[in-house]
Amino acid sequence: MSKDGSSAVFPLTLEYAVRWARKNSLWPMPYGTSCCGIELMSTLSSTYDLARFGAEVVRFSPRQADLLLVAGTITTKMGPVLRQVYDQMCEPKWVIAMGACSSSGGIFNTYSVLQGIDEIMPVDIYVPGCPPIPEGLIYAIMRLQDTIEKGLPRPKAERLTPEQARNAMSYREVITDSIFKDPSKSSLEESLAQSAAPEAAKTKSSHSTKEG
Amino acid sequence: METLLKNDLVTPLQDYYNPNVLLNLGPSHPAMHGTLRVMCRVNGETIEDASCEIGYLHRAIEKLAENKTYHQWIVYTDRLNYCSALANNVGYVMAVEDVMGITITERCMYIRMICLELARVIDHIICVAINALDLGAMTVFWMLYTWREQAYTIIEGMCGMRLTTSYARIGGMAYDLPENFQAEMKIFLEGLPKTLDDVEKLLSANRIWVDRTKDVGILTAEECLGFGLTGPVARASGVDQDLRRDRPYYNYSDLDWDVVVATKGDVYDRYLVRMEEMRQSLKILKQLCAKLPGGSIWTEDSRVLIPKKKDVYEKMEVLIHHFKIFMEGIDVPPGESYRAIEAPNGELGYYVVSRGGPKAWRIKIKSPSLALFQSYEHSIKGAKIPDAIAILGSLNIIAGELDR
Amino acid sequence: MSRLLLKNREAQDGINGHLKQNYAQQGRYDEDANQEGILWLVSSGDLPEVVRKLREDSSLAMDRLADLSAYDNVDGVDGAGRFVFFIHLYSSKFHSRMRIKCLIAEGEEVPTLTGIWPMANWLERECFDMFGIRFRGHPDMRRILMDERFEGHPLRKEYGLEARQQFSDSLPIRMVTENEVSK
């Protein structure tokens, strides 16, 4: 009860309160490897303050963080290290793949770069850009907050085969027709089968991925 | 004798009494500037032996040089020393222009020098800020970073990107300077020295800073020469080498500036050298902005000059020429050239080997960070763990450049 | 064009002239696009001796190793040898550069320069990692950029750009306790 008699307590369900608390106190673990790491530092500094969104405390220990911000290229040598860091985080945990390199390998389609960290861990938000400007990262964090608040499902992104990527224009129609008309269809297979598109061959990753 | 570590989960009892602990300052560490790994054998807090491992950011940029055309590879040069991407761009196109024998225009030269000095200032800002942040001085980080944002505004006006610029082109620059360039530079040139004064008030006579950085990580001039160190770290140890003065490229010999050399070679000296180098770079920038000539930024050499759009639409040969430049790439004659510039970290060199054609046969990047990190192993033997962190911050190792 | 100042041009020309006169019998002398001298050695075994002489020669004084690596000569344009091994030297006294190049065969071992300059240590490891060129007398000849279990040498022309080899764990780091280099 506040001084003028008005009530300062809002009746909520516990789940809503928990989601509100979680979204407003995302403690990031900045896993900055390369250029995106510098833009991450810019986002954390005073001009584009990320602390406004609750990310005041930047924790460098995975056990104390709940948001893994992978910013930068992840190479095959670094992959196991990143996976170990991800495994050390406690639930609930979210992953933002910042930049092109961690989303898909970026401009480096070479023998030593992972083509996206979703080869080794489930990712919630992908931030495009090379590097993304701080506003982009802030938008991604806000989208993540939205996801947490509304309790939206966190499906694993389906990777395109090179065949589908080459047919980008026709593929897009398939996506917009099927998935966005029917949000419950989160599986790519079902939506493609529904619109009688060519068979979507599932990509096989080069080594076994552990399910998060 | 090599000591192979085993992944033992059970520690034998005799190891319990062993004062030597193996500490892995792993690739994911707050004080590791990028993806570096140092395995130390620690006795209490003193590091008795150290072994560094790199390669956690090896992105095969040199292999990509053999598969991409010279023009396409410009974007990869940004990702080398990403704190000063403009300098890397300029160094690379200088090397290719040497092989082709292209002379650039006056305006292009001045713009490139502005890029180089601006890159130097922002790289030193990051180095001093992160070094201070590691040792606990967070205020310095916030204060200096706002000036990096102003520099980003200038750079964004020049080429559209803040960090990974890809501004230089073979034979010219991508875009000309914007109209508000001089105004924005004026803000930068007048405001940054005041912040540098504030930072010096905070740090230079600060008891904590001095105690943590004086006599820490001393490298003598002979060691610097042996390890091939160049740049502010070598100059802090007394090695009086600066490629801008010793082997001047462009118009550095016509400008009035000083090379900053210190004597002792500890972390404190490196900090002082970088602060003063920032001021000297601002001095150079002032002179460059005052002398900036007009004219075109593209050379007249038809091998690289992109033809005017009007001619492309109207004349057949020009259309074919335009097509060849963009679809095949420019044709670089066989030859080779090693071109080194004084990048913020030291001597950044590009060795371009061409056997004719639009793609390079081999490009080797001489990265200053490799030598710096190699000397790190030597520097931290006998030092304490906090000293190791201070030394790493002062060396300004950029992992992108280290691993390429 | 390289706009070297007149005094630098003269110094560089002086160095080039001295190299052509006194050292060209070891191999042949060439110049690159920047008119910097290239000394081609006949055999890689001469390397440490030539480098020491260049360092002690008072009219050359090549005291800093700038770079060290190799490039693939699989098409044989530069001569008969699988790789062309090169080093870049810099003279602090005359502010001039030179290059030493040498054709080496597949499997040939090049003598190490770590005794002369500690900087060569990691550069030679990188050369081994990328090309497979071994260095005789190197204290720690192992891969530096790739994982130690990696097979093949990436910068050779036959290695595919996208040929990935991935390992699901990271190796424990090996500590080489004797990092001292014997002269």
- Residue A37 forms contact with B (CB below 8 Å): yes
The answer to whether residues A175 and A81 belong to one domain is no
Q: C137-159, pLDDT tens digit by residue? A: 998 888 999 888 888 899 999 99
Identify which of A45, A73, A85 has the shortest CB distance to residue B145: A45
State residue B16's pLDDT score.
60
> Are the C-beta atoms of B295 and B305 separated by less than 8 Å?
no
- Of B132, B378, B144, B138, the C-alpha closest to B267 is B132
- Residue A72 forms contact with B (CB below 8 Å): yes
pLDDT tops 90 at residue C127: yes
Identify which of A31, A111, A130 has the shortest CB distance to residue B28: A31
pLDDT band at C126 (very low <50, low <70, confident <90, very high): very high
Judged by CB atoms closer than 8 Å, whether chains meet at B226 and C119 is answered as yes
The torsion angles phi and psi of C65, rounded to 5 degrees, stand at: -85, 120
Q: Average model confidence (pLDDT) for chain C?
A: 83
The residue of B32, B37, B56, B68 whose CB has the most chain A CBs within 10 angstroms, and thus the best one to mutate to test that interface, is B56
> Are the C-beta atoms of B162 and A133 separated by less than 8 Å?
yes
- Residue B399 forms contact with A (CB below 8 Å): yes
Count of structural domains within chain C: 1
Residue A211 lies in a domain: no
The residue of A85, A107, A135 whose CB has the most chain B CBs within 10 angstroms, and thus the best one to mutate to test that interface, is A107
Q: Which residue has the tokens 């964004």?
A: B156
The answer to whether residues A116 and A30 belong to one domain is yes
* Cα–Cα distance, B28 to B48 (Å, whole number): 22
Residue C150 lies in a domain: no
For C121, the domain range is 6-136
Beta bridge partners of A81: none
- Of C91, C57, C34, the C-alpha closest to B243 is C91
Least confident of A97-106, C29-38, C60-69: C29-38
For A179, the domain range is 158-200
Beta bridge partners of B359: B69
Residue C177 lies in a domain: no
Q: What percent of chain A has pLDDT over 90?
A: 24
User: What are the CA-CA distances from residue C13 to residues B246, B336, C19, C20, C64 (Å)?
Assistant: 15, 18, 10, 10, 19
pLDDT tops 50 at residue C111: yes
Q: B129-139, pLDDT tens digit by residue? A: 999 998 988 89
CATH number at residue C119: 3.30.460.80
The answer to whether residues A97 and A117 belong to one domain is yes
The residue of A77, A111, A112, A209 whose CB has the most chain C CBs within 10 angstroms, and thus the best one to mutate to test that interface, is A111
Q: A37-74, pLDDT tens digit by residue? A: 999 988 988 888 888 888 877 878 889 998 999 999 99
Least confident of B100-114, C10-24, C125-139: C10-24
On chain A, the residues whose CB falls within 8 A of the CB of B64 are: 108, 110
CATH number at residue A152: 3.40.50.12280
- Residue A113 forms contact with B (CB below 8 Å): yes
Judged by CB atoms closer than 8 Å, whether chains meet at A206 and C166 is answered as yes
Q: Is the pTM of this model over 0.95?
A: no
Residue A208 lies in a domain: no
User: ipTM for the complex?
Assistant: 0.90
Count of structural domains within chain A: 2
- Residue C179 forms contact with B (CB below 8 Å): yes
Residues in Cβ contact with A13 at an 8 Å cutoff, skipping those fewer than 6 apart: none
State residue A199's pLDDT score.
37
> Are the C-beta atoms of B213 and B258 separated by less than 8 Å?
no
DSSP character string of B52-117: EE--TT---HHHHHHHSBTTTTHHHHHTTSGGGHHHHHHHHHHHHHHHHT----HHHHHHHHHHHH
The residue of C151, C156, C162, C164 whose CB has the most chain A CBs within 10 angstroms, and thus the best one to mutate to test that interface, is C164
Judged by CB atoms closer than 8 Å, whether chains meet at C33 and B337 is answered as yes
- Residue B259 forms contact with C (CB below 8 Å): no
On chain C, the residues whose CB falls within 8 A of the CB of A207 are: 166, 168
Judged by CB atoms closer than 8 Å, whether chains meet at A80 and C147 is answered as no
pLDDT band at C46 (very low <50, low <70, confident <90, very high): confident
pLDDT band at C176 (very low <50, low <70, confident <90, very high): low
pLDDT tops 50 at residue C180: no
- Residue C173 forms contact with A (CB below 8 Å): no
pLDDT band at B187 (very low <50, low <70, confident <90, very high): very high
Beta bridge partners of B52: B38
Topology of domain B88-93+102-301+369-403 in CATH is Cytochrome-c3 Hydrogenase; chain B (1.10.645)
* Cα–Cα distance, B236 to B219 (Å, whole number): 9
DSSP character at residue B180: T
H or E segment to which residue C135 belongs: strand C134-136
Report the gap between the CA of A177 and the closest CA in chain B (Å): 35
DSSP character at residue A113: B
The answer to whether residues A92 and A25 belong to one domain is yes
* Cα–Cα distance, B319 to A48 (Å, whole number): 45
DSSP character string of B279-324: HHHHHHHHHHHHH---S-SS---TTTPPPPHHHHHH-HHHHHHHHI
- Residue A111 forms contact with C (CB below 8 Å): yes
Q: A76-101, pLDDT tens digit by residue? A: 988 888 988 999 998 888 999 999 99
Report the gap between the CA of A56 and the closest CA in chain B (Å): 14
H or E segment to which residue B3 belongs: strand B2-3
Q: A119-129, pLDDT tens digit by residue? A: 888 899 999 99
Judged by CB atoms closer than 8 Å, whether chains meet at B76 and A38 is answered as no
- Residue C6 forms contact with A (CB below 8 Å): no
First to last CA, chain C: 41
Q: What is the mean pLDDT of residues A4-32?
A: 80
DSSP character string of A18-79: HHHHHHTT--EEEEE-SHHHHHHHHHHSGGG-SGGGTTTS--SSGGG-SEEEEES--BTTTH
On chain B, the residues whose CB falls within 8 A of the CB of A33 are: 34-35, 56-57, 399
Strand B362-366: give its sheet, edge to edge.
Answer: B335-343, B346-354, B362-366
